Amino acid sequence: MYSLPDLEPLKDFNAIAVLTSGGDSPGMNPAVRGVVRAALNQNIRVYGVQKGYSGLVAGELRVMTSASVRNIVQRGGTILKSDRCPEFKDPAVRRQAIDVLQREGIDALVVIGGDGSLTGAHCLAEESDIAAIGLPGTIDNDIFGTEDTIGFDTAVNTALDAIDKIRDTASSHERHFLVEVMGRNSGFLATHVGIAAGAEMVVVPEYEVQIEQLGQQLSDSRRSGKGSSGIIVVAEGRDPGLTYRLAQQLTQHGEEPRVCILGHIQRGGRPSGHDRVLASSLGAMAISYLLAGYSDIMVGVANGAIVDVPLDSVIRYRKGLDPKLFELALLLHK
């Protein structure tokens, strides 16, 4: 797995809090467990915040013990619950959250979530003397500064499990299936799933879909006897209903495709072994970074190691889909 940095403890903490925020991802529970157990090992009091930033603003905190995180390493979802909190963009709302943390004598906050959640952590670090550490938790794997995110591996495997089954019926009926995976703004999940499923085509928000070309390609392979059935993986994109519209357009090319939307199934389920180790390592390392005096950083992964990345760069830059990987997804089915 990923190698862990050596960090020298320089600071003491009285109490820390941990929350999960945004769309949940499989592995958030082992991450929470990692944070809680590593902090308790250092005799730091730990609070679990319920329902992300909304719960923080409302003061919904509970003391976490070692037993609070017993038997959760294998569970999907998040025992702390999660929420999207657009109100947190308002500095006055963030001030209420800071007041709650200060009232409880909490010196640091660990936030597990996607880019919106990490933006909230960055603002808190800038606007108070509370240390903030972010951990990348999203099935989308679209966070700048980290090659991997908690939940991505599980979501890829969940989609593959479904697609392998769909392929059986696609083949029996000589049909093409459009399988929609998550990814509103990014095609990481679709591209990885496409490669691993041996998909005939992958559609991602980063590149415009050439429907004429796709229709032609499907009819050609049917005519030549090369492929009378197949899988087209489509990232949901920003445009609701995209996959159904694509299917409709393909019927104009003589195809009779079927649509399968995998949807939120990809966000649930037991975290994979990979995600459990990743989440546990990131959770425990969040405490090591805090003790070493770090704040306003995300703990992520680069070049086979756990690394720290300033939160302002995490939220300023966009992680781009590697065009070579996308090309590979298109090339391998030929």
Interaction mask 273-312, ligand F6P, x per CB under 6 A:
----------------------------------------
Q: Which residue out of 24, 83, 140, 142 is catalytically annotated?
A: 140
Listing DSSP states for 70-100 in one string gives TT-TT--S-TT-----GGGGSHHHHHHHHHH
Is 114 a binder of ligand F6P (CB under 6 A)?
Answer: yes
User: Which of residues 17 and 139 has its CB atom nearest to ligand F6P in the complex?
Assistant: 139
Number of residue whose CB is nearest ligand F6P: 23
Is 184 a binder of ligand F6P (CB under 6 A)?
Answer: yes
User: Which of residues 30 and 114 has its CB atom nearest to ligand F6P in the complex?
Assistant: 114
Is 33 a binder of ligand F6P (CB under 6 A)?
Answer: no
Chain-centre distance of CA 311, in angstroms?
A: 17
Rounded to a whole number, what is the distance in angstroms from the first to the last CA of the chain?
A: 33
CA distance linking residue 47 with residue 25, whole number of Å: 21
* Buried/exposed 187-196: b ≥16 CB within 10 Å, e otherwise: bbbbbbbbbb
Listing DSSP states for 272-326 in one string gives PHHHHHHHHHHHHHHHHHHHTT--SEEEEEETTEEEEEEHHHHHHSPPPP-HHHH
Q: Is 38 known to sit in a ligand binding site?
A: no
Q: Is 200 known to sit in a ligand binding site?
A: yes
Chain-centre distance of CA 20, in angstroms?
A: 12
CA distance linking residue 36 with residue 41, whole number of Å: 9
Of residues 79 through 98, those in contact with ligand F6P by CB under 6 A are 84
User: Which of residues 155 and 286 has its CB atom nearest to ligand F6P in the complex?
Assistant: 155
Name the segment binding ligand F6P (CB under 6 A); options: 87-95, 125-133, 167-175, 180-188. 180-188
Residue of 73, 133, 182, 291 interacting with ligand F6P (CB under 6 A): 182
What tokens does 202 get? 């992958």
CA distance linking residue 269 with residue 295, whole number of Å: 32
Is 140 a binder of ligand F6P (CB under 6 A)?
Answer: yes
User: Which of residues 126 and 239 has its CB atom nearest to ligand F6P in the complex?
Assistant: 239
Residue of 16, 18, 19, 22 interacting with ligand F6P (CB under 6 A): 22
Catalytic (active site) residue 83: no
Is 23 a binder of ligand F6P (CB under 6 A)?
Answer: yes
Q: Is 318 known to sit in a ligand binding site?
A: no
CA distance linking residue 161 with residue 199, whole number of Å: 13
CA distance linking residue 234 with residue 182, whole number of Å: 8
Residues at the annotated binding site for ADP? Answer: 33-37, 167, 198-200
Active site residues: 140
Residues at the annotated binding site for Mg(2+)? Answer: 115
